[in-house]
Amino acid sequence: MIKILRLSDRLEMAAMVGIDPASDGLARARRLGVATTHEGVEGLVRMECFSSVAIVFDATSAGAHRHNAAVLAPYGKRLIDLTPAATGPYVVPPVNLDEHLDAPDLNMVTCGGQATVPIVAAVSRVTPVRYAEIVASIASKSAGPGTRANIDEFTETTSRALEKVGGAVRGKAIIVLNPAEPPLIMRDTVYCVIGHCDETTADAVRASVSGMVDEVAAYVPGYRLKQEVQIRTLRADDPLAELADGHPGGTATLVSVFLEVEGAAHYLPSYAGNLDIMTSAALRVAERLTTR
Q: Residues with catalytic annotation?
A: 111
243 near 170, Cβ under 8 Å?
yes
End-to-end CA distance of the chain: 22
Task: Check whether the bond before 182 is cis (ω within 30° of 0).
Answer: yes
Dihedral angle computed from the Cα positions of residues 172, 169, 212 and 155, in that order, rounded to the nearest 10 degrees? -20
Which phi and psi angles does 190 have, rounded to 5°? -120, 125
Residue 141 neighbours by CB under 8 Å, 6+ apart: 183, 269, 271, 272
Report the C-alpha gap between 11 and 102 in whole angstroms.
Answer: 18
How many of the other CB atoms lie within 10 Å of CB of 211? 12
Counting Cα atoms < 13 Å in the Cβ hemisphere of 235 gives 3
Residue 138 is which amino acid? I
For 7, counting Cβ atoms within 10 Å of its Cβ (0-12 exposed, 13-18 middle, 19+ buried), the class is middle
